[in-house]
Structure 1
Amino acid sequence: MNPRLQRRFGGLRALGLGARFALSGGRESTVRAALMAIGVGLGVAMLLLAASVPTARHHRDERTHARIDVNLDDRAIDASDHTVLIDDMDTVFRGKEIRGRMVQPEGSAAPLPPGLQRFPRPGEMIVSPALNRLLTSSGSDLLRERLAHPVAGEVGDAGLLDPGEYVFYLGGDHLVAGVGDTRRLDHFGKTYPRKPLSPELVLLGIAGIVVLLVPIGVFIAAAVRFGGEHRDRRLAALRLIGADRRMTATVAAGEAALSTLAGTVLGAALFLTGRQFSELVEIQGLSVFTEDLTPEPVLVLLTVVAVFALSLLVTRLSMHKVSVEPLGVVRRSAGTTRRLWWRIALPVLGLVVLRVIVQNPSGLHGGSGVALVAVGMLALLVGVTAVMPWTVERLTRLCGGYGPLSWQLALRRMQLSSEAATRSVNGIAVAVAGAVALQTLFTGLAHTPADSAARPADRSPASHTRIGVARLDSGAGNTAAYAPAFAATPGVQEAVGFAELSVSPPDGGFSQTVRIADCAQLRRLASLPSCSDGDAFLTAPPGTDRAHDLTTWKAGTTLRVDADGSRWKTPRITATAPATSADPADDAAERILLATPGAAGPTVTTHAVSTVRLTCTTTTEDVQDRVRTTAAKLDPSFAVDFPGQPKGDAALDGIWRALLAGVAAVLLLIAASMLLGALEQIRDRARVLAVLSAFGTRRRTLAGSVLWQTALPVGLGLLVAGLIGTTLGGTLLGIVGRPVVHNWSTLLAIAGIGAVASVGVTLLTLPTLWRSTRPQGLRHE
């Protein structure tokens, strides 16, 4: 036979022999193959979940575009049988945002919002399943009072971004197009090209993908090494009967390939099973529909190829320390010292790539910039796994020779097999390093220089009060009745009611604010010398700079009211008075005109917005929800805002929530990895533990040694992870020119979660440890 063909068929036979060893090599081989399959299966399930992200995002974007209810065509729509009136009724309940719309069809062919089978009748409400559950749950009395309308049905999936979204549609019969936010539509939905994300958001997305995928790769690499010592002894026996290194490596590859195949099938089964329950799971406020979790075919193929390639590569690299002794055992060369230079070279290479090569943030929109950032991050994170064995080896050498017996047993075990000691904690170290980098990056992106120097946004005189503003686009004539209703709400200290509108020069120009109320209300807004109906006053927020004041208040000046073209003449200014309090929504220093109804006249009053300025105490429970409930009872179209509460970037917050959900899932995966690794190590040492127990070693001492074997590498890993994570986060912020701002409490919490997970996993292994110390463990074949 041709030698080349003989080698090829010999390799195939060696692969088959490895597969036979995995299936029929005894209990040890079966357990090892099962552990490998479970580990690989968990990793594959996570990768399939990651491969579903593009599909989930595409479906979410389609649903977002389909329910757009704004006329983006900038064209006039006349009332017809095919139009509908719609008004916004968004609200908030205990921090949960609720999307609300009032709909009023103008004909039998009016377009239905996505997810609705019919329009709700006036006064009826159609709600999302999540909102329906919230309304019927205990502790939602305030929300039930606010949305006190009969529920006539549920919104379908087509009208929701995710299963946990809170949405309702209320039927109306008094909407008028052009009044307030009420608008007329002849269709729902709009398709428009996606706007490119800012370099900051692109960078955060790249960082999230790398941070989430690298720990999974580390986890799969560790799973392939389960039971490595038993495998090495079996392969050494093959060397004794004449097998060469190539054949033993091929046998090991066959064994790993079979376990990887079984793990891939198991991972697919786990993913398909978990997919059916996806709508019941919510992480960091995010949930997905079942059909959203459909992996991209190309990514599925790439996942399978990558998992098999990683499995074979790790198996091949682990074989270089297998040697044959006369009795067929494996001995690792204990005198060899690990070299540090190439281990440090990995993170240094990552820093060089990120700091030197990637200098222009605009390059993040190109393929080369994305690839360079990914390579730099990959080098830094993989550097954690490279530095960890050297660090553990050096520490065990320095700390050996003293300490309690459990400490000595742990150190000796780590000296004999430092790779096994660090392999189980590499995943948690990489995950923590990535989480720290993400937190540092997000904190820097969300931070603005004005955050630390800005005064409190509510400008309230005491820290236990908060300012709120309630506005109603119609009904300016009832302002005097609205303020007492709010004032009677528990937790409201003061309610000042007035009508508000904007005026500007006829040819355009700077918009100016007019507030209309009786003298009693105006005295609560400014220190007036005297007041009677027909007076008008100028005032500006206290402590503001008039250098940029662009207002021009002159008696008899003709101004345009809002944008409808109505004309109004400025009344005679009675006096200029200092403001006693300021509306938190006004950040400018311009002068505001305070006018009595007699001075303003009926023309502007009909165009004004009913406004109630509220001063609330934070010591009253659910005061904000009580205010919103009062507003809804007065008129469902009332909009309540508390400007003192920070409002972040919606896109940035959305990406951050998705990344937090991914980090939580990865940490669960790493905890499972550590548990499997710890169980595998105890199983591998079962006979040694049984011998130690037979010679009188207390179980408490053995448990302490197992705990030290986990705690020491974990402590070192968290230290290295914190250093590399903060360095990586600061470097990424440098790419987009943002200052480094650390949220130390959050960073310590991330490290604490990693430490607690490690200790908790160790405690879960104690029952297996007790079983391993029984006399039956002395049996050996």
Structure 2
Amino acid sequence: MSPAVQRRFGGLRALGFGARLALAGGRENTVRTVLVVIGVGLGVAMSLLASSVPSARHHRDERIHRRIDVNLDDRTIEASDHTVLISDIDTVFRGKGIRGRMVEPEGPAAPLPPGVRHYPRPGEMVVSPALRRLLTAPGSELLRERLAHPVAGEVGDAGLLDPGEYVFYLGGDHMVAGVGGTRRLDHFGKAYPPKPLPPELVLLSVAGIVVLLVPVGVFIAAAVRFGGEHRNRRLAALRLVGADRRMTATVAAGEVMVGTLAGIALGAILFMAGRQFAGRVQIQGLGVFTEDLTPEPPLVLLTVLAVLTLSLVVTRLAMHRVAVEPLGVVRRGGGRTRRLWWRVALPLLGILLLRTSVRNPSDLQGTLQVGTMVVGMLALLVGVTAVLPWIVEGLTRQLGGRGPLSWQLALRSMQMNGETATRSVNGIAVAVAGAVALQTLFTGLAHPPGDSTARTSQGIPPPRAQVGVARLDEGTTNADEYGAAFAVTPGVQEAADFAELTVTPPDGGFPQTVRIADCAQLRRLASLPSCSDGDTFLATSTGAGRIHDTTTWKAGVTLRIGASGPYWKTPHVTATAHATSASPPGDVGERVLLATPRAAGPTAMAHAVRTVSLTYTATADDVQDRIRTTAARLDPSFTVDFPGRPRVDPALAGIRRALLAGVTAVLLLIAASMLLGALEQIRDRARLMAVLVAFGTRRRTLASSVLWQTVLPVGLGLLVAALTGTTLGNTLLGLLGRPVLHDWSTLLAMVGMGAAVSVGVTLLTLPTLWRSARPQGLRHE
């Protein structure tokens, strides 16, 4: 038999021997294998969850397309037995968006919305299961008062984006197409051809994928190294009986392969078991249906190959750093100082690649540019795991020799094996760095240049009094009662009732706002010198001087009401006035025309929208929900808007919720990794702790030393993570030319969450510590 064949068969025998060691190497080896299997299983389950994202997004998009209830064909739909009238009656309750529709079928063959078995009768409604639970939950009295309609059924899964979505359909009566936002449909749903995402969403999606998967990789890399000290001592025994270094490395690979393969199987089982409960769990307000979590087969294969490759590479690198000799493991005899240059070069290379990968936002559609950006992000985040051990080693060297006994025990333990001390901390540092980067990116994308709402992210408190606007399209019945009803709502200071319409020049141009009311109501909107029916005033807000004024308020100028309404001539302007704080801002923050009914004329009155401007106390409890409840009781078609609230792109908000849910799940995964790593360290030092207790060391001192071993690396890791995450977020915003804004309270909360996870894991290890410190721990075989 040739030497090459002998080496091949010898390698296979070494792999098989390593596999037998993993399964029959005694109690210590069994515990180590179980830890590896659990760690790899959790990481694989998270990876399979990530591989289900394309399928979940596809199913979600299909449901969105199926329930589109707008006529997008630019054709006239005549009333028939196959049509239905529908209008939007969305609402918000304590920050939760509720999708509402008022429907009235025009015949027995009217199309049903997805998930609805039958139309509710007038005054009844069908609700989603989540909304039914919210209506019956304690503290939802305002919502029950707002939606005080009998429930006649539930919306099925086909009509919901996720199990936790709030949706209702209210039966209407005497609805008229074209009035109050009512439209006629002969079918639901619309198929859209795929289109490229905007650069902002591409950047956010790519950053989210990298940020979520890198901590999982760090977690798996730490998991396959559980029990490394015991493994190295066993390999030293193999060297004593004649095995060379190549054979010991092959045996170690075989031992790790068993744990990795078993972990992959366990991860598949955990994923399939957790998939059955997916519909009952929501993270960051985001949930999925069970059928949504179907991993893509190519991604599953890629996950398995990546986990196997990562476990073998990590094991090989760990063996490279340790000299396994016949007489022992040569690593305990004092290590050399870690080299810094390549550790710093890694994140610097990442920053360089990020800054040079994208020259303008349109480059984000290119594969090469996106690939370079991904490599840069990987280099920057992985750089955290490279820099942190050097920082911990240098700090422990400077702080050693001083302090209480628990402090010295912790420092000495980290000096002996600083790599083990930072192995599990690397995961939480990378996760927090990614979370900080995502939050920085979210804040910058949510507040474009010149957005006045950006001040709220910088810690400036909102004013005590704010202005809200309630509108009812084509609402003329009982119009005089609207302002009085809002005025008596708790928290409302003043209610100005008027009619409002938007006019534009026939040849195009900026929309201009006209508000029509009697003199008493107009005085609430502006400081008028004098007023009588037939007068018209030009109101200028205090901030209008900062904006270029493009309004053309001249007497006799012909303007068009709305986009396709009748023509209307501008009346003579009696005087100018300054708008009060109760006046809502115009469409573009410019001058607004205030007219009495006689000056506006019957045409303007017929096409105006009934509007109530509300000045309310921002600090009052549930004041916005009380206003919405009042509006819904007056008419379900009332829409309420609070201009001071920041407006966020729905697509951006959806990606934000998904990524924050992923970050939360990754933090839970890293917490499990830290717990397993801490238990492994206590198990490795069980005899040492038993000896210390036998010589009179108090258990409280040992517990304090374990806490210090966690707090010090975690504190340094969170500091590095905050700096790295902020740098990454700022760099990504720079690629889009967006301003850098930081929501410091949220960033501190993320860092605090990481610290809380670390301390909580340490407390969970105390029972194991007490058991390890018993005199029975002195026994040794």
* TM-score bucket of the superposed structures, by smaller chain: over 0.9
CA distance in 1, matches of 2:510, 2:312: 70
Give the AA of the match of 2:653: D
Match of 1:178 in 2: 178
- Determine whether 1:348 maps to 2:357: no
Distance change in 2, residues 1:429/1:507 (3 Å)? closer
Cα offsets for 1:670-692 (capped at 9, x unmatched)? 11101100100111111111111
The alignment partner of 2:87 has SS state of strand
Letter in 1 for 2:440: T
Q: Secondary structure at the match of 2:305?
A: helix
Note if contact 1:476-1:499 (Cα within 8 Å) is conserved in structure 2.
no
- Greater mean deviation of Cα atoms: 122-131 or 567-576: 567-576
Q: Is the 8 A contact 1:503 1:559 kept in 2?
A: yes
Helix, strand or coil at the partner of 1:584: coil
Residue in 2 aligned with 1:649? Answer: 649
Hey, what's the Cα distance between the residues in 1 that align with 2:328 and 2:510?
Answer: 90
AA partner of residue 517 (structure 1): A
CA positional deviation for 1:473: 0.9
Distance change >3 Å, CA 250–CA 565, structure 1 → 2: closer
Give per-residue Cα distances to partners, 1:200-251, cap 9 Å, x unaligned.
2212211111111111111111111111111111111111111111111111
TM-superposed deviation, 1:565: 4.7
In structure 2, C-alpha distance between the alignment counterparts of 1:618 and 1:658, rounded to whole Å? 30
1:307 aligned counterpart, secondary structure: helix
Q: How does 1:6-45 map to 2 (within 5 A)?
A: 6-45=6-45
1:467 maps to a residue whose letter is V
2:95 maps to 1:115: no
Residues 522-546 of structure 1 show CA distances to partners (whole Å, capped at 9, x for unaligned) of 2323344444434444433345339
Please give the alpha-carbon distance, in whole angstroms, between the structure 2 residues aligned to 1:140 and 1:404. Answer: 54
Instruction: Please give the alpha-carbon distance, in whole angstroms, between the structure 2 residues aligned to 1:393 and 1:764.
Output: 26
- 1:61: Cα distance to partner? 0.7
**Bigger Cα displacement from structure 2, 481-490 vs 191-200:** 191-200
Higher mean Cα deviation, 706-715 or 475-484? 475-484
Q: Which stretch of structure 1 is more off in the superposition, 254-263 or 714-723?
A: 714-723
User: Which range moved further: 6-15 or 559-568?
Assistant: 559-568
Q: Residue 94 in 1 paired to residue 89 in 2?
A: no
Q: Is the 8 A contact 1:541 1:582 kept in 2?
A: no
CA 1:711 to 1:511, structure 2 compared with 1: closer, same or farther past 3 Å?
closer
User: Is residue 443–residue 741 contact of structure 2 (8 Å, CA) maintained in 1?
Assistant: yes
Residue in 1 that maps onto 2:466? 466
Partner of 1:54: 54
Instruction: Write the distance in 2 (CA, Å) between the matches of 1:543 and 1:592.
Output: 13
Q: Which residue of 2 aligns with 1:242?
A: 242
Give the aligned residue type for 1:74: D
- Helix, strand or coil for the counterpart of 1:450? coil
Matched to 1:598, the amino acid is R
Matched to 1:184, the amino acid is R
Assess if the C-alpha contact under 8 Å between 2:544 and 2:591 holds in 1.
Answer: no
TM-score (norm 1): 0.95
- Which letter maps to 2:303? T
- Root-mean-square deviation (Å): 2.3
Cα contact 1:237–1:329 (8 A) shared by 2:
no
More displaced, 147-156 or 1-10? 1-10
1:322 positional shift: 4.1
Instruction: Name 1:124's counterpart in structure 2.
Output: 124
The alpha carbon displacement at 1:149 in A equals 0.7
SS at match of 1:114: coil
Match of 1:478 in 2: 478
Q: Secondary structure of 1:523's partner?
A: helix
Distance 1:774 1:83, change over 3 A: same
| Residue equivalent to 2:313 | 313
Letter in 2 for 1:725: G
Determine the structure 1 residue equivalent to 2:692. 692
Question: Are the aligned partners of 2:525 and 2:583 in contact in 1 as well (CA < 8 Å)?
Answer: no
CA contact (8 A) 2:453 2:645 kept: no
- The equivalent residue for 1:77 is 77
> Any idea what SS the aligned residue of 1:545 has?
helix
Instruction: Work out whether residues 682 and 768 of structure 1, in 8 Å CA contact, stay in contact via their aligned partners in 2.
Output: yes
Q: Which amino acid aligns with 1:33?
A: T
Q: Which moves more between the two structures, 471-480 or 355-364?
A: 355-364
Structure 1 residues 341 and 108, CA gap change in structure 2 (3 angstroms): same
Instruction: Name the structure 1 match of 2:65.
Output: 65
* Residue identity (%): 77
Corresponding residue for residue 716 of structure 1: 716
Structure-1 separation of matches of 2:260 and 2:593? 75
CA separation of 1:143/1:576 partners in 2, compared to 1, >3 Å: closer, same or farther?
A: same
Instruction: Note the C-alpha offset of 1:359.
Output: 3.0
Distance 2:58 2:138 in 1: 36
Residues 164-563 of structure 1: matches in 2 within 5 Å?
164-324=164-324, 327-328=327-328, 331-332=331-332, 334-451=334-451, 463-505=463-505, 511-542=511-542, 544-545=544-545, 548-555=548-555, 557-563=557-563
Match of 1:668 in 2: 668
- Structure-to-structure mapping, 1:580-729, within 5 angstroms: 580-581=580-581, 583-588=583-588, 590-729=590-729
Query: Cα gap change, 1:762/1:103 in structure 2, threshold over 3 Å: closer, same or farther?
Result: same
Contact 2:524-2:582 at 8 Å conserved across structures: no
Residue 429 of structure 1 contacts residue 721 of structure 1 at CA under 8 Å; is this kept in 2? yes
Verify the 8 A CA contact 1:443 1:741 in the aligned structure 2: yes
- Whether the 8 Å CA contact 1:142–1:626 is kept in 2: the answer is yes
Query: Counterpart amino acid of 2:163?
Result: P
Cα separation, 1, equivalents of 2:589 and 2:346 = 54
Matches of 2:220 and 2:306 in 1, distance apart? 11
Which is further off, 196-205 or 292-301?
196-205
Q: Residue 586 and residue 756 in structure 1: after superposition, are their counterparts in 2 closer, same or farther (change >3 A)?
A: same
Matched, 1:140 2:140: yes
The 3-state SS of whatever aligns with 2:197 is coil
Moved more, 556-565 or 1-10: 556-565
1:450 Cα offset (Å): 2.5
Q: Which moved more, 1:437-446 or 1:499-508?
A: 499-508
Post-superposition shift, 1:520? Answer: 2.2
Partners of 2:453 and 2:62 in 1: how far apart? Answer: 41
Maintained 8 Å contact 2:453/2:644: no
Deviates more, 1:359-368 or 1:221-230: 359-368
Give the Cα–Cα distance (whole angstroms) in 1 for the partners of residues 778 and 560 of structure 2. 96
For residues 546 and 432 of structure 2, what CA distance do their matches in structure 1 show?
Answer: 50
**What is the number of residues matched between the two proteins?**
778
Change (3 A) 1:387 1:542: closer
Alpha-carbon distance between aligned partners in 2 of 1:51 and 1:637, rounded to the nearest angstrom: 42
TM-fit CA distance, 1:289: 0.7
Q: Distance in 2 between matches of 1:444 and 1:546?
A: 24
Deviations 1:249-274 (A, max 9, x none): 11111110011111111111111111
1:50-80 deviation per Cα after TM superposition (whole angstroms, max 9, x unaligned): 0111111111111111111111111211112
Q: 1:661 to 1:524 in 2, by over 3 A?
A: same
**What do residues 406-445 of structure 1 show as CA deviations (whole Å, max 9, x unaligned)?**
2222222222211111112111111122222222222233
Aligned to 1:152: 152
Q: Secondary structure at the match of 1:606?
A: helix
Determine helix, strand or coil for the equivalent of 1:468.
Answer: strand
TM-fit CA distance, 1:465: 1.3
Contact 1:396 1:415 in 2 (8 A): yes
* Alpha-carbon distance in structure 2 between the residues aligned to 1:554 and 1:444: 41
Per-residue deviation, 1:329: 5.1
- Deviation digits for residues 536-588 of structure 1, max 9, x if unmatched? 44433345339854444555555444355534444455444444446324154
**Could you say what secondary structure the match of 1:212 adopts?**
helix
TM-score scaled by structure 2? 0.95
- Give how far 1:338 is off: 1.9
Is this contact kept in 1: 2:584–2:613, CA < 8 A?
A: no
Residues 500, 673 of structure 1: alpha-carbon distance in 2 compared, 3 angstrom cutoff: same
